[in-house]
Amino acid sequence: MSSPLRIHRQAGVTLLEIDNPPVNAASAALLRQLREALAQAAADAACQAVVLYAAGRSFVCGADIAELQGPAAQPRVDLFNPVMDALESLPKPVVCAMHGMALGGGLELALACHYRVAHPDSQVGLPEVQLGILPGAGGTQRLPRLVGARHALEMISSGKRVGAQAALDMGLLDRLSADPPRAAGLAYALDLLREGAGPRPTCLRQVDSGGLDAAALRQARADAEARPQYPARLAIVQCIEAALTQPFRAGLAEERRLFEQCRLSHTSQALRHLFFAQRQAAKLPGLPADTPLRPIRKIGVIGAGTMGRGIVTNFLGAGIPSVLLETRQEALDKGVEHIRRTYDGQVAKGRLSDERVRAALDCLRPSLDPADLADCDLVIEAVFEDMQIKQDVCRMLGVRCKPGAILASNTSTLDIDVLAQASGRPADFVGMHFFSPANIMRLLEVVRGRETAPDVLATVMRLSKTIGKTAVVSGVCYGFIGNRMLESYLREADFLLMEGASPRQVDRAIENAGLAMGPCRMLDMAGTDVAARIVIEQEKNGLRPDDPAYRAVVGRLLETGRLGQKAGKGYYRYEGRQAVDDPEVQALCEELARRHGIARRDRIADQEIVERCLYPLINEGARILEEGIAYRPGDVDVVWTHGYGFPDYLGGPIFMADHVIGLPVVRDRLTHYADVKGNAQGYWTLSPLLERCAAQGTTLSDTHTNRT
C-alpha cells in the first residue's frame, strides 16, 4: 500500500504532496502522516515555508466517509483537529494549493493553512450537510473568520460548491493560478517569503457578521427546526452562532459536540448508506470495471409521446444526436413542440441558457422514416404499453438496426425476454425503464434480460451517468424492482379505502411517515387510468390475484371516468391543482365494500395504514433480493429514494426495515395481519429471507445477493 503523503523539498520550501486515490480522501492514515510531516517541518531549520497540495485530478474531497461509521469513528475524526492546529500554529507560512475540488475536510485543511491559492477552474465546498453531518474539523469556526458569517452559513447549510472566482471574491482564496498545484503553491510561498510575510492563523481573525443579523439567524434557526428529520441543519446554525458569540476554542468544542451528535443520528447513517449505495449500484457483480463499452454516438427513440419525448430530451442535453421516430406527422410535430416548450420554460426560469437549448435542439432529428435508425448505436422503443405493438416494433428494430446496435425497451411491466426474442437479437437487447417525467426523474431501471450481453449492460450503465441518471440493474420480473414493490402498497391502499379510511387519511398517514406523496394523490397525478390498465394487463397475463376486490377502487375510478387530476377528479375532486375530498369517492368505496363483503370500520389507525402499505412493500423487497432480481439491498433503497419519493433520511425501505423499524417488528406485524385478515391470496406470506433474518437477528443489508 503506497503512502498517501509524499514530502519534497525545493528552494527552502517543504512540499507536502497528498496522493490517496481516487479522491484523495483524508483518511486516518493520511492525517497521521500529515501530523508527523508538519512536526518535522516545524523543526527543520532549512524549511522556511510549507506548501500543501495533492496529486491526481483533485485536491482532498473530504474525510473518508467510510471511516465515519463504527466504534473507531470518533477517534478517527479526532485526528483532524490536531492536524489543523499543527497547520495553523506552524511558525512558518503555510500555503495550500488547490485544484479540481476541495470539499469537506479537504477544504477545512485549506482553511487551517495561512494562505490559499487555487486553479481558476477549481471548486470548493462543505457538503457535509448532504451526509447528515456538519464540517467537523473547524470549518464552522474558520470559514466565518474568512468570509463572514452570512456567506459561511449559506455555504455550510446548502452544502453547495463555490467556484474559484467567487471564493476569491468572498475572501476564501487569496489568489488564482492556472499553474499545476505544486508550481502554484511554490511560487506563492516564495513570493510570501520575499515579502517577509509570516504565518497568518485563521483562528486569530474576528468574525464579521457579513450582514447576518439577529433576525436572519432567527429565521435560519426556524427553517432548520421546521425539518427535524435533518438535525444537522439546526446544528449548523448553532455552530455559526457559536462562531459569532464565543472564542475560537469554545466554538470548536461546540462544533465537535454537535458533529458527534449528528454523526450518530439515524439520518446521517441513512444518508451515508445512500451515498455508497448509489455508487455501488453502478457496479455489476462479475463484470470487470474495464469491460470494453460499445460506442454510443447516435441514438434513436421510437414514440414521441410523453415518455418518448422525455427520454430523448435526456440525450439532447448530453449533446448526443438523436432520432425521434413517429408513424404520424401530427404526433411527431406534437412531440417536438412539447420538447421546445419544455426548453422554453427552463430558459424562462433561468435554468438553461439559449445557447444550451440551441445546442440541444441541434441534436434532435425528428423522423417518420425507420431507415433513419440504420446508423444509431442505441435505439429505445417507447411506444404504447401493449405486448403485441412492442413485439412488432422490436422485430422491426432487429432488422433495421445495424449489427452491434443496442436495442432497448422502456416498458414498465412487460417481459423483456419476450421482447428480446421478438427482436431476434436478445444479446443486444436490454430494458431501460425511465420514470415519468423521463427528463426529470433521476432513476433508471436497467433490466438485464436472460441473454443480455455483459458489454451491453456495462455500456448502458455508463451511458446513464452521461445523461445524469442513477441507474439500478433489475432482473426480469413483473414490475422489475420499483413497481413490483409498489403493487402491494397500492393494493392495501385500495383495501383501506373500502374498509373506511378516506384518501386524505391514507395519504396523510403515509406522508407523515416520510414519503413525499401518498398513494391516492400519486395515482391522481400519474393518472388512475394508467394504474387501472396495469391491473387489466396483469389479468391478461394471468398475474392478477384471484380476488374480485383486488384494486377494485382504481378499477372503478377508471370505469367512472375519474382519471385523476387531468380529468378534474380521481381519488379527489380537483379545483385547479387543489385536491378536495369528494363524497362521491366515499360512496363509491362504500358500494364496493358492500359488493365485496368487506366490513367497514369507523376508525382505522394511521399506524395500521403505514404498516399495511409499507411492510408488504418491504416484504416484496426481501423477495426481490432472495430471487436475485436486485443485486444488493442498497440497490432497492436507491430505486425507492430516487424514483418514488421515499425519504432519504430513512435510507430507503430496506435500510429502514433493518435499522429503524427492525425486521422482527416487520415480521410480527405481517403475521398479525395474516391472522386478522386471512391470507387466502398470500398477501401476507412472509419472504423466507426476511423471516430467516428476523429469526437470526441479522439484517437484509447483511445479505449480499450477487448474481452474475
Catalytic (active-site) positions: 108, 128
Q: Which one of 62, 132, 479, 647 is in contact with ligand T1G (CB under 6 A)?
A: 62
Stretch binding ligand T1G (CB under 6 A), from 98-106, 244-252, 631-639, 670-678: 98-106
Stretch that binds ligand T1G, among 63-71, 213-221, 319-327, 448-456 (CB under 6 A): 63-71
Q: At 309, which helix (H) or strand (E)?
A: helix 306-317
From the list 569, 568, 530, the residue with the least C-alpha distance to 551 is: 530
Q: Nearest distance from residue 47's CB to ligand T1G, in Å?
A: 27
Contact code string over 111-150 relative to ligand T1G, x by CB under 6 A: ----------------xx--x---xxx-x-----------
Q: Supply 278's cell numbers.
A: 448509489
Give whichever of 232 and 694 is closer to ligand T1G, judged by the CB atom. Answer: 232
Q: How far is the CB of 18 from ligand T1G (least distance, A)?
A: 13
Quote the cell numbers at residue 640.
425507492
Contact string 258-277 vs ligand T1G (x = CB under 6 A): ------------------x-
Residue whose C-alpha is closest to residue 93's, from 66, 127, 116, 69: 116
The Cα–Cα gap between 592 and 595 comes to: 5
103 scored as a contact of ligand T1G (CB under 6 A): yes
Q: What does the block give as the cell for 154? A: 449559506
Question: Which residue lies nearer to ligand T1G by CB, 103 or 360?
Answer: 103
Cα distance between residue 94 and residue 185, in whole Å: 9
The residues with which 7 forms a beta bridge, in sequence order, are: 16
Q: What is the dihedral of CA 326, 327, 330, 331, to 10 degrees?
A: -50
Q: Shortest gap between Cβ of 271 and ligand T1G (angstroms)?
A: 10
3-state helix, strand, coil in the chain (%, to 5): 55, 10, 35
Q: State the burial class of residue 688 (Cβ atoms within 10 Å of its Cβ: 0-12, 13-18, 19+).
A: exposed
Residue 112 and residue 88 in contact, taking contact as beta carbons nearer than 8 Å: yes
Residue 651 Cβ vs ligand T1G, minimum distance, rounded to whole Å = 16
User: How many residues lie near ligand T1G (CB under 6 A)?
Assistant: 25
- Tell me the three state secondary structure of residue 15: strand
Count other Cβ atoms within 10 Å, centred on residue 318.
16
3-class SS of residue 24: coil
Residues 13-32 that bind ligand T1G (CB under 6 A): 22-23, 25
Choose which of 88, 108, 492, 635 interacts with ligand T1G (CB under 6 A): 108
Name which of 38 and 281 has its Cβ closer to ligand T1G. Answer: 281
Which residue lies nearer to ligand T1G by CB, 18 or 323?
A: 18
CB of 318 to ligand T1G, least distance (A): 15
Angle (CA) 219 270 512, round 5°: 60
Shortest Å, Cβ 108 to ligand T1G: 6
Q: Could you tell me which residues come within 8 angstroms of residue 510 by beta carbon, excluding any fewer than 6 positions away? A: 518, 519, 609, 610, 613, 614
Residue 65 interacts with ligand T1G (CB under 6 A): yes or no: yes
Please say whether the beta carbons of 209 and 244 come within 8 A: yes
Site track 438-477 with ligand T1G (rule: CB under 6 A), x = hit: ----------------------------------------
The residue (of 76 and 484) whose beta carbon lies closer to ligand T1G is 76
What dihedral angle (degrees, nearest 10) is formed by the CA atoms of 614, 619, 625, 627? -130
* CB of 25 or CB of 220, closer to ligand T1G: 25
- The residue among 156 and 700 lying less far from ligand T1G, judged by its C-beta, is 156
Cβ proximity to ligand T1G: between 74 and 586 the closer is 74
Neighbours of 573 (CB within 10 A): 17
For residue 634, state whether it binds ligand T1G (rule: CB under 6 A). no
Closest approach of ligand T1G to the CB of residue 634, in Å: 12
Smallest gap from Cβ 126 to ligand T1G, in A, equals 7
One of 101, 332, 379, 471 touching ligand T1G (CB under 6 A): 101
- Min dist CB 701 to ligand T1G, Å, is 17
Q: In whole angstroms, what is the distance from residue 367 CA to residue 327 CA?
A: 9
SS3 sequence, 466-508?
HCCCEEEEECCCCCCCHHHHHHHHHHHHHHHHHCCCCHHHHHH
Residue from the set 18, 59, 76, 105 that interacts with ligand T1G by CB under 6 A: 105
Interacting span for ligand T1G (CB under 6 A) from 60-68, 175-183, 451-459, 663-671: 60-68
Of 3, 255, 230, 27, the C-alpha closest to 131 is 230
Residue 275 one-letter amino acid: F
Nearer of residues 125 and 653 to ligand T1G, judged by Cβ = 125
- What residues line the site for ligand T1G (CB under 6 A)? 22-23, 25, 61-66, 68, 80, 101, 103-105, 108, 127-128, 131, 135-137, 139, 276, 279
